[in-house]
Structure 1
Amino acid sequence: MLTQLRPAFVLIVALTGITGLAYPLAMTGIAGLVFSSQAAGSIVLRDGKPIGSALIGQSFTSARYFQGRPSATSAADPADAAKTVPAPYNAGNSAGSNLGPTSADLATRVKADLDARQVENPELPVPVDLVTASGSGLDPDISPEAALFQVSRVATARALPEARLRALVESKIEGRLLGVLGEPRVNVLALNLALDDLGSR
């Protein structure tokens, strides 16, 4: 019986070593060499200090900055570990809200965000990505329409000409990957860094 079981055990150990250890380590090493920035988290540095990631959104609440999509991520409640509290752009808990289109809570939140955004710029319709969270809750990008929608508020807060900010937004629009995949987008962190640079000139 041992003679018949030995090949099965050897095969399990060998395949576990190959597919569970060698292959993942090889792919991680190759990814680190070929895509070193992405493998290290695509960290964005300013004056040698990390200020964010190009791949993970962050919360900008000041009127002086362009703002990203709402984030539905959460974290453990410090007062009660059995509960959660909102924690926008919590990369350790990437998830959507799981609220469906018939949810009263979702409708109330979206309506409040929509009303607040409409006050900000009553001349334009509010782009959908400024009032809805993504499935991951971590999107670093917004649509060009969402960035242009915020130009009026940012221009007023910074006392800059709107035309200058529109040109800045248009210079930061990234096209579709390979010309066909995805949608045109604007990285909010990159746009805000360029905005700070613009103000210092």
Structure 2
Amino acid sequence: MEVSGDHVQGHPVLNGLLLCRGGVIVDDSQASLRLCSQCHSSLRSGSMPQYALANGIYRGRLPDEFHSMTWVEELACSLYRTWNMVTRLFCGLGDKPEDVERQPRVMSGNTCACENGILDLASILPRTPANMRDLISVSFIGSGELKSTYMMPVFHIRKPLVWSFLLWSKQNNPLYKDITLDSCILDQYPDYDLIPGLLKET
């Protein structure tokens, strides 16, 4: 979701309002808003829509340097552990044997998030490699050997970026105010390699 940082929406009636850009339509002097049926129903009854940005959901914008963070890196910085991530990987871009033979180093797959029914609030961050392995499961489908280099694009963390994000969060996010940041945990991760132990458990 992209939100205007200065709340300038391109129309004087809407300027100053905190709106999702994808829902704002400005055509010459006319302006309109896209609303889902649930929000429209709430507004018609005079109540605040549950998922409206004005309902305490909007927490500001992240600096641009953090926009490239992967879900694995975000997981290493997450306060709450309520989801398990299950990834299925297979070789090639198709299910035919010849496709796999032509592209032996190309991996395809998908990741699903599953509720684990446990509310785990971290007191120390980043999360340890062992904790990350509890949250991530990888299922490899194929006859060849799965190598760490094949999994690298997804299942590694950029240590400087993760540490920078945690420092920024501690200064700017009140939820992180009392969280202990431990650089020794970060040192348990390699500079550019898989999350330790993940390949063995795949």
TM-score norm. by structure 2 comes to: 0.23
TM-score norm. by structure 1 comes to: 0.23
More helix per residue: 1
